Amino acid sequence: MTGRRRFLFKDRGDQGQVVFEFVGMLPYILLIVVAVWECVLIGYAFSLAGNAADEAARAGAVHGAGACQEAAGEHIGGAWTMPPATCGRSGNVYKAEVRLNLPILFPGFNIGVPITGTGGSPYEEGLR
């Protein structure tokens, strides 16, 4: 081999190695991103269910069971599936329980695992 040919092949030894390693790691990177997104979605579902239950309990304590059901549905977006809220009085406290179905990757694709939020408010007899 002449000096010139040896020089051309010498610098190309690791060319393309970074791309090959990145393509090999890409499925793992995507899996981690999806897992983190699902964890964020689960946390948001718990927050959403808890807020809806608190608002439903407050509305139920003031206006009754019909208002409780309506307030629970009002605070849940249309993409989330929710069975009817459980509303009722327990002593001097009006309680509400809201269940959401756990979504996969985005609301609308549910796996049927319920996420429950509970709320309570002092019962206000004189306001009816």
pLDDT classification of 3: cutoffs 50, 70, 90 = low
Q: What is the CATH number of domain 18-127?
A: 3.30.1300
More confidently predicted of 5 and 59: 59
Inform me whether the pLDDT recorded for 12 exceeds 80.
no
pLDDT classification of 83: cutoffs 50, 70, 90 = confident
As a whole number of Å, the CA-based R_g of the chain is 27
pLDDT classification of 30: cutoffs 50, 70, 90 = very high
Pick the closest to residue 64 from 108, 24, 101, 94 (CA basis): 94
Alpha-carbon distance of 111 to 97, in angstroms, equals 20
**pLDDT tens for each residue of 47-74:** 999 999 999 999 998 888 888 888 888 8
**Sheet strands (E) in the chain:** 86-90, 93-103, 110-122
